Chain A
Amino acid sequence: MGDPVMKHLKPAHFIGLFPLSLMGLFFLGPLAFMIVVSFYERDPLGFYNVAFVWDNYAKFFSSFYYTISMRSIWSSALGAVLVVLLAFPAMYIITDMQRRWQLFWVILLLSLMCLSEVILGFAWLILLSESSGIPKFLGWVGLWDDPRSLSPSFAAMLIGFITLGFSLVALMFYPQMAQRDRSIEEAARTLGTSPPRVFTKVVLPNYRTGIIGAVVTMFVYFLGVFVMPTMLGRPQDWNMTVIITDKAVGDANMPLGAALSVIMLLFTLLIIGTLLFSSRKERSS
């Protein structure tokens, strides 16, 4: 007589253990460790001392961390909106091209994704530099009397964000857009909609869920980038990830770094949850 629960379990049920174990190994385990460490005390001479203190969380509520949090949210949100605003119409245009050109663009976008953040950051550093980049060119053609380096700056950091996210967002939309029913847009035209209005009245509303999804994904992604803010942004543009790294690695304050990470994670989950809840509520109404 076997266990009655075990009797009902089929091999298919055990397949679910595979993703669960991957989640545990790569995400839940490190997360649990980070949560535990966030309650430890910093040891100025070592790494940390085992304890249970709220001090690390309390530090977040100082104006310094609050400002950085708000700045991180602002730069990530702005970067996310900008990258989707650029990548969505770009992919819409690409999917209307001939098959071979579509393939060319997809390969190009995939190649861009293969480039590391550091290489892209350096490329922009050079392009925005006074001595060899865009400012020098603008000075040379006479469009800028007093060319100066355009980085580090908030705008340069946003350019870096867009470079990072563009391929990702564009490729996110590719399968859906390439297979879209074009007769929906044609129907709008026969009903009296001019081509630019077809885009705003029919295409955008149809991809609303996908667009929101892409913005949220990019927002979360940009919250966590490290290289672009440090390479292209000014210290006052740095996001929480840079500060966390600075605290955890630079100041050897792992408990504070862990606590700030947990807060950022909760914050991100709160934003995603709110968006999901509001979109569900809207769908049901």
Chain B
Amino acid sequence: MATLSLNNIEKKFGTFQALKDVSLDIKSGEFICLLGGSGCGKTTLLRIVAGLETQTSGEMLLDGADLSKVNCHERNVGMVFQSLALFPHLNVGENVAYGLEVRGVAKAERKTKAMELLEVVGLSGLFDRPSSALSGGQRQRVAIARALAIKPELFLMDEPFSALDAGLREHLQIEVKKLQRKLGVTTMFVTHDQNEAMSIADRIVILNEGRVEQAGTPTEVYAQPQTRFVADFMGTNNIFTATVSQRGDVSLEGVPLGVATGDLAKLDGKHVIAVRPEYLELEPVTSSSIGLVGTVDFVRLLGASIETELSVGARKFVHTMVSDRAPKFAVGDQAEIHFDLDHAWVIPS
């Protein structure tokens, strides 16, 4: 178990700045998810920690010692790659035992350890199978077992489940989380999928254009996004600039939305607010409707919920409701949008 401190990490590729002043403290045994879109720098940060890239500037401390001065092959970091990178010329057991072989562990001992790990990841009995004869999920488990075989101080995973189908992905997310808890290894996990990050991370670090936008527990980043980008990325689709009058009335471009409650009640003036789709309510438009009226653009069933997308001029709003009720609106219908302002989150920046 190890603590990792990243202080003011910068990385430039020619004129392109991939990482800008990234600082992060990762506690021993913590499971951190680096979350962000393509090109945000999350994989670059992971590769710097692994020693596969060198930071342009900044400090990286592992248990207080400068990690930057340690060569990649001497860092004792277990990494699972997006492509998995299993050695094609070795069978399953040899793949898992590879790191032990490099460390000079005796053949019998490394076979025992590899078999133990294969049992942990649910692949006992596949020791002699060629790595090319495995399914996607099995390959994934071999890659995880191989990275953990060396008892790494840091366990790094770079979008390891991106190529798997949804069911298998969810199953492996749970398994990895359980395994990480059991071993207590400090873990950094890169993903672009906010649901994946929410389901496995102790803490989520959201990156945008090489900067840390927000770092916090899944609940914090979901319910209290600190920037518009985070709110948007975490799926809060209803973000707009609302005006709060001194009397406490909230409006959007002159259209009344209701009376400010909760955090909004303490404010006045213009503020960017985010209301999650589950805190919207849709009502049929009547002659007495004075609120925001939108046109239904799209209705879709998402298993447990029904999502309705509405447009008000150029603005889009998204409403969700549990799917055990029949949708009240069809595409093309008009609906009055009510916001539960008690759950409106004011984005600080």
Interface residues in chain A, defined as those with a beta carbon under 8 Å from any beta carbon in chain B: 181, 183-184, 186-195, 197, 201-202, 205-206, 208
Contact = CB atoms under 8 A, between A and B. Distances in A.
B23 to A, nearest CB: 24
B89 A205 contact: yes
A202 B89 CA distance: 8
B317 to A, nearest CB: 42
Interface stretch (B57-65, B96-104, B244-252, B308-316): B96-104
Nearest to A192: B102
A181 B103 CA distance: 24
Contacts of B75: 190
B95 to A, nearest CB: 9
Given A205-B89, A206-B88, A206-B89, A190 B73 contact: yes
Given A190-B72, A192-B150, A184 B85 contact: yes
Contacts of B79: 186-187, 190
Given A181-B83, A183-B83, A205-B89, A188 B78 contact: no
Given A206-B87, A206-B88, 17 more contacts: A184-B87, A186-B79, A187-B85, A187-B87, A189-B51, A189-B72, A190-B73, A190-B75, A190-B79, A191-B73, A191-B98, A191-B102, A192-B102, A194-B73, A202-B89, A205-B89, A208-B89
24 contacts: A181-B83, A181-B85, A183-B82, A183-B83, A183-B85, A186-B50, A186-B52, A187-B81, A187-B86, A187-B87, A189-B52, A189-B73, A190-B51, A190-B72, A190-B77, A191-B98, A191-B146, A192-B74, A193-B102, A197-B102, A202-B87, A202-B89, A205-B89, A206-B87
B215 to A, nearest CB: 25
Nearest to B47: A186
Nearest to A206: B89
Interface residues of B, number: 28
Interface string B87-114: 1110000000011001100000000000
B157 to A, nearest CB: 12
B62 to A, nearest CB: 14
Contact of A186 (B81, B88, B89): B81
A208 B79 CA distance: 26
Nearest to B79: A190
A183 to B, nearest CB: 4
A195 B51 CA distance: 13
Contacts of A191: 73, 78, 98-99, 102, 146-147, 150
A206 B73 CA distance: 20
A39 B315 CA distance: 91
Interface of B: 50-52, 71-79, 81-83, 85-89, 98-99, 102-103, 146-147, 150, 156
A43 B72 CA distance: 74
B289 to A, nearest CB: 57
Contacts of A183: 81-83, 85
Nearest to A194: B73
Contacts of B71: 194
B104 to A, nearest CB: 10
A206 B81 CA distance: 18
A275 to B, nearest CB: 18
Contacts of B86: 184, 187
A194 B74 CA distance: 8
A201 B97 CA distance: 14
Contacts of B99: 191-192
The 5 lowest CB-CB distance pairs between A and B, nearest first, are A191-B99, A187-B85, A183-B85, A192-B102, A183-B81
Contact of A188 (B74, B76, B77, B87): B87
Nearest to B82: A183
Contacts of A202: 87, 89
| Residue picked from A188, A191, A206, most chain B C-beta under 10 Å | A191
Contacts of B98: 188, 191
A188 B89 CA distance: 13
Nearest to B104: A192
B235 to A, nearest CB: 30
Nearest to B156: A190
Contacts of B103: 192
A53 to B, nearest CB: 52
Nearest to A204: B89
Nearest to B90: A205
Contacts of A208: 89
B233 to A, nearest CB: 26
Contacts of B76: 192
Contacts of B89: 202, 205-206, 208
| Residue picked from A184, A190, A194, most chain B C-beta under 10 Å | A190
A181 B150 CA distance: 23
A96 to B, nearest CB: 14
B3 to A, nearest CB: 20
A189 B52 CA distance: 8
Contact of B78 (A184, A189, A190): A190
Contacts of B72: 189-190
A88 B223 CA distance: 56
B49 to A, nearest CB: 10
A184 B72 CA distance: 14
Contacts of A201: 102
Contacts of B156: 190
A205 B75 CA distance: 25
